Amino acid sequence: MANRSCHPGATSQIGRAIAVAALQIALAVPATAQTARPASPETSPDAQGDGERKWFVMEDRPSLRLGDALRLDLTSKIGLTVRAAPDQDTDAEMEQRRIGVDGRLFDVVDFQIERELGDDEQPWRDVFVELRKWRAVRVRGGRFKVPFGQERLTSISDLDFVHRSIASEALTPGRDTGVELNGRILARTVTYMAGVFQHDGDVSRGGTDAPGGRTVAARVVSTPFAGASSRALQRIEVGMSMTTGDVPEGLNGLRARTSDQYEAVAPVYVFGTRLRFGADAAFTNGPLSVKGEFLQTRDERKRQGLRDEDLPDVVARGWYVSATSFVLGRLKSNGSAPRTPLLGGGIGAIQLAARVESLEFGSHAPGVEALRNPRAANLLPNDIRALTAGVNWFPVRFVKLQLNVIREHVEDPERRPDPSRPWGTTGLFRVQFAL
Amino acid sequence: MRPRTPRFLGSLIAVFLALAALHAQTPPAPRLTPDDLFDPNTVHDIHLTVSPRDWAELKERYRENVYYLAELRWRGEVVSNIGIRSRGRGSRSEAKPGLRLDFNHYASGQQFLGLKSIVLDNLTQDPAMLKERVVMRFFTEMGMPAPRVVNARLYVNDEFAGLYAIVESIDKDFLKRTLNENDGYLYEFTHTDPYGFEYLGSELERYAEFFEPKTHERDSMASLYRPIRELAWAVSESPDSMFVSSTNEYLDVRAFLTYVAVENFLADRDGMLGDWGMNNFYFYRFEGKNVSQILPWDKDSSFWAVDYGIWTNMEANALARRALKEPPLQRVYLEALRRCAELALRQPEPVPGIARRRSVDETPLQPGWLEREISFVYSQIREIAKADEAKPFSTERFEDEMAKVLEFSRARPRYILHETEQR
């Protein structure tokens, strides 16, 4: 039932990725040196032009300018992850090789184009345009992340861990093509996002890989104590998300994989409506940050029984709580670089991270024998629980190194990578360059 | 008038007590066993309940090994939560899928009558629709382990899906039944290129291409394939003086030649000495030993021709070629062929007072065992085969092939006896 995904050719990609990374570092070092100096970009030796109108600026990233009419920031993200587990070959994979452009037109239209190199199936990541005339109402159209799940909406290069939580990976929709309204209201204490999307996202495909139907999604994030006198309270952020849409008939239930890519939860037959709900909270104070999220997905199973009968909904629930703390050095307020970089007299910034998480799949059919088959009225529940401990090192701007050790438990012995081992251990190491 | 109620109540109680006593004396229904499922004296009715969409998808994706949920009903026994999938190589069919039923696919440990799986052969490659059954019975009568095969009417969602054969899976249950052990190494021979036990070099991966492990799948390559490589070396590379002894260490050459004799007697074009190299067998290495046993599988291509030569394709197989250069082993082969002919001609057990059996050199009084077996199966399946609209050939073709098989059963023993007497 279960299988282990692999990444053929990943090792052969490493050479090319290192070349791209070297190019990035070549670009990054002058920029790092530049940040060590208080010079403004406009007077930087990298700036080229006639003094009044610069057409190339090297700030956080290379930027092309056409007066006030157009700004084009070049972006790039490269992530190499090495995975090691007992009794398995160590596996290296280029998880990210992205290039892109962030732009702004006449200070009214934002746009973003990002492409994953080496992904032949779906190379485009974000490709959207956003009308940003008013802060309270902005309109975005194109391909971008469906607004569901705090962690899913965080770029992988900004995650506190090498990978997202198992629940986020399994239950959130990812990117799709659609239209969204978003904005900040009530004195900027509430941010909202609401959109209609063609399908159900590109990461929530089931066994047949058939896309879901039209999906409506909404998310609200609030800082409920923004007016409080305590700065700690002011930084508490809570969010709620939901999606609803049609899920096509077939083996299209959601799946879940462990950190070593073992499919511990295989798709089941579904048909009807998929309803998601999410709640999250985050708190940051000084070097400490705490985040938590609860996610639930409910899929209908109309006429999916052996004799065409309706089956009880399949329900997946997951949560995580994570905490990080800088123990050495800090990042700058915009989070882009360490305050004392490795090449600037310090060693960068070092952060410790820990996460506890759980994901459970099942259905509610009292009095019916719980079974593993994908048309079972009472699906035999399967829980995945995991503990992650990690260290993040930010030596210089653009560069992050992460080390995670994950202890995972799959409840059902028959759906474990190794049935004889209740707990599995995986080590992940990631080197990331993000421009 | 006396009230009648007490008498009525008394009668009621008496009847109740009598029924209770009768119930207490009725023995419980005997528990069904695999012997019941493989009872050759009846054509079984197998009922499968499958989601109509799954059944349509299984037919559409008949070339893939995708499992679908099903429920099986047979003689009042119901087993739910089983996995079924399309099976076969050349016999795969969209209109009439061959099926593998895995009782433990969704629930490890689940069995049906003590079996983990069975095969429903769609009989699409055999217009006579009985070769598999008769050949496996022939192997058994020759004292060689072979899967049991019986016929069945298959109903899917209560609709007749055709005439099938229930074939016993070659698995640990089969090994236990036939060899009284099952913890050795079982392989299915996978035909990729023509191969005949030649030495392919020291790399074990070369042998893994042909022998797919069905037990001990996670063992090391050395544990799985070193003995097979050594067998191939003994067959191809050992000096003449050591050929028999070194090969016997890994495969009983006499048993191999007997196996080949049965296949050749039955004119199997797609077996050990098939036209395209070795095919259609399992290979079992005994527990804690190097020696292995060959187990027959998929005999739809038998009964090819009455005059199918007894030396057909011998030169193409390294083991057969070399073994038959040894006069004692050649005699083993010819003797095995003669025993096949004797079995085919074997007369029914004599009834007291009736003329005793004649020798095989004389015209038998009654049809021989092979002809009787074929006629018996034919009588069982004839009407069902005619009603099978999913079979990929006409009823006329079925009848023609049946006549050919019957003719084979009558003429083949004489041909073999004649050929072997020439030696």
Distance CA A201, CA A268 (A): 18
* Residue B24: predicted pLDDT: 56
Distance CA A131, CA A181 (A): 10
* Residue B279: predicted pLDDT: 94
Over residues B142-179, the pLDDT tens digits come to 999 999 999 999 999 999 999 999 999 999 999 999 99
Closest CA to A402 of A385, A426, A427: A427
Q: Would you say B381 and B395 are in contact if contact means Cβ atoms under 8 Å apart?
A: no
A308–B52 CB contact, under 8 Å? yes
Q: Would you say A88 and A76 are in contact if contact means Cβ atoms under 8 Å apart?
A: no
Distance CA B79, CA A276 (A): 36
pLDDT at B186 over 60: yes
CA angle A103, A105, A106 (to 5 degrees): 145
Helix axes B395-421, B327-345, angle to 10 degrees: 130
Distance CA A71, CA A106 (A): 9
Question: B156 — contact with chain A (CB < 8 Å)?
Answer: no
Distance CA A235, CA A284 (A): 6
Rounded to the nearest angstrom, the minimum Cα separation between B145 and chain A is: 32
- The answer to whether the Cα torsion of A202, A207, A211, A215 is positive or negative is negative
Q: What is the DSSP letter of A41?
A: G
Question: B70 — contact with chain A (CB < 8 Å)?
Answer: yes
Quote the tokens at residue B327.
């006069």
* Residue A387: predicted pLDDT: 98
Question: B111 — contact with chain A (CB < 8 Å)?
Answer: no
Q: Which residues contact A343 (CB under 8 A, 6 or more apart)?
A: A29, A32, A33, A36, A396
pLDDT at B360 over 60: no
Chain A positions touching B106 (Cβ under 8 A) are 1, 371-373
Q: How far is CA B348 from the centre of its chain?
A: 24
* Residue B7: predicted pLDDT: 63
* Residue B150: predicted pLDDT: 98
Identify whether A52 is part of a domain. Answer: no
Nearest to B51 among A306, A372, A376 (CB): A306
Chain B positions touching A253 (Cβ under 8 A) are none
Quote the tokens at residue B287.
């527990």
B81–A373 CB contact, under 8 Å? yes
Residue in chain A lying closest to B57 (CA): A250
Chain A positions touching B53 (Cβ under 8 A) are 249
Tell me what percent of the residues of chain B surpass a pLDDT of 70: 89
Distance CA B90, CA B92 (A): 6
B69–A375 CB contact, under 8 Å? yes
Identify whether A50 is part of a domain. Answer: no
A374–B69 CB contact, under 8 Å? yes
CA angle B390, B391, B396 (to 5 degrees): 125
Residue in chain A lying closest to B157 (CA): A307
In angstroms, what CA-CA distances link A95 with A87, A315, B179? 23, 30, 52
Distance CA A158, CA A149 (A): 15
Distance CA A255, CA A413 (A): 17
Nearest to B106 among A305, A308, A372 (CB): A372
Amino acid type, A345: G
Strand pairing class (A378-379; A370-371): parallel
CA angle B262, B146, B259 (to 5 degrees): 25
Distance CA A393, CA A203 (A): 29
Amino acid type, A406: I
ipTM value, please give it.
0.76
- Residues pairing with A112 in the sheet: A102, A128
Q: Over the Cα atoms of chain A, what is R_g?
A: 23
Confidence of residue B14 (pLDDT cuts 50, 70, 90): low
Amino acid type, B41: N
The owner of tokens 């992460």 is A402
Amino acid type, A136: A
* Residue B26: predicted pLDDT: 59
Chain A contact residues (CB < 8 Å to B): 1, 249, 269, 304-308, 371-376, 414
B53–A376 CB contact, under 8 Å? no
Residue in chain A lying closest to B72 (CA): A306
- The answer to whether the Cα torsion of B340, B345, B351, B353 is positive or negative is negative
Q: Would you say A193 and A181 are in contact if contact means Cβ atoms under 8 Å apart?
A: yes
Q: What is the DSSP letter of B241?
A: G
**pTM for this predicted structure:** 0.81
| Mutation target among A4, A268, A373, A414 for the B interface, most CBs of B within 10 A | A373
* Residue B335: predicted pLDDT: 96
A304–B51 CB contact, under 8 Å? yes
Confidence of residue B4 (pLDDT cuts 50, 70, 90): low
Q: What is the DSSP letter of A346?
A: S
Instruction: Give the CATH number, domain containing residue A21.
Output: 2.40.160.10
pLDDT tens track, chain A, 435 positions = 344 433 444 444 445 544 544 445 444 444 443 333 333 334 344 444 445 667 888 777 889 998 889 999 999 999 999 999 887 788 999 888 999 999 999 989 999 999 999 888 889 999 999 999 999 999 999 999 999 999 999 998 899 999 999 999 999 999 999 999 999 998 889 999 999 999 999 887 777 778 889 999 999 999 999 888 888 889 999 999 999 999 999 999 999 999 888 899 999 999 999 999 999 999 999 899 999 999 999 999 999 999 999 999 999 999 999 999 999 999 987 777 899 898 778 899 999 999 999 999 999 898 999 999 999 999 999 999 999 999 999 999 899 999 999 999 999 988 888 888 889 999 999 999 988
Chain A positions touching B108 (Cβ under 8 A) are 414
* 3-class DSSP state of A334: coil
Nearest to A306 among B71, B107, B108 (CB): B71
Residue in chain A lying closest to B67 (CA): A1
Nearest to B107 among A249, A304, A372 (CB): A372
**How many Å from the N-terminal Cα to the C-terminal Cα in chain A?**
41
Alpha helices in B272-317 (DSSP H): none
Q: Would you say B265 and B224 are in contact if contact means Cβ atoms under 8 Å apart?
A: no
Question: B33 — contact with chain A (CB < 8 Å)?
Answer: no
Quote the tokens at residue B38.
């493989």
Distance CA A63, CA A44 (A): 13
- For A405-409, B21-25, B52-56, B400-404, which range has the lowest pLDDT when averaged over its residues? B21-25
* Residue A290: predicted pLDDT: 97
B51–A305 CB contact, under 8 Å? yes
Helices (H) and strands (E) in chain B, counts: 13, 11
> Across all residues in chain B, what is the average pLDDT?
91
B106–A304 CB contact, under 8 Å? no
Over residues B292-306, mean pLDDT: 95
A372–B50 CB contact, under 8 Å? no
Chain A positions touching B81 (Cβ under 8 A) are 371, 373, 376
* Residue A59: predicted pLDDT: 74
Over residues B202-245, the pLDDT tens digits come to 999 999 999 999 999 989 999 999 999 999 999 999 999 999 99
Provide the residue range defining the domain that includes A143: 10-36+68-434
Chain A positions touching B69 (Cβ under 8 A) are 306, 373-375
Rounded to the nearest angstrom, the minimum Cα separation between B30 and chain A is: 27
A306–B69 CB contact, under 8 Å? yes
Distance CA A176, CA A214 (A): 10
CA angle B235, B237, B240 (to 5 degrees): 80
Rounded to the nearest angstrom, the minimum Cα separation between B141 and chain A is: 40
Distance CA B180, CA B314 (A): 32
Over residues B313-323, the pLDDT tens digits come to 999 999 999 99
- The sheet carrying B281-285 orders its strands as B211-213, B185-189, B281-285, B292-296
B51–A308 CB contact, under 8 Å? yes
The percent helix, strand, coil of chain A (3-state, each to 5) is 10, 50, 40
Q: Would you say A256 and A415 are in contact if contact means Cβ atoms under 8 Å apart?
A: no
Residue in chain B lying closest to A419 (CA): B108
More confident residue, B10 or A359: A359
Q: Which residues contact B335 (CB under 8 A, 6 or more apart)?
A: none
Window 255-284 of B: residues touching A by CB (8 A cutoff) are none
The owner of tokens 């009603």 is B387
For chain A, what is the domain count?
1
* Residue A410: predicted pLDDT: 94
A249–B53 CB contact, under 8 Å? yes
Q: Which residues contact A120 (CB under 8 A, 6 or more apart)?
A: none
Q: Over the Cα atoms of chain B, what is R_g?
A: 25
A306–B52 CB contact, under 8 Å? no
Closest CA to B303 of B143, B423, B418, B413: B413
Quote the tokens at residue A393.
């090192």
Strand pairing class (B149-156; B44-50): parallel
In angstroms, what CA-CA distances link B113 with A372, A373, B32, B46, B165? 21, 21, 7, 14, 18
Amino acid type, A51: G
B70–A306 CB contact, under 8 Å? yes
A305–B107 CB contact, under 8 Å? no
Give the count of beta carbons closer than 10 Å to the beta carbon of residue B252. 16
What values do phi and psi take at B198, rounded to 5? -70, 155
Helix axes B131-141, B369-387, angle to 10 degrees: 150
Distance CA A304, CA A267 (A): 13
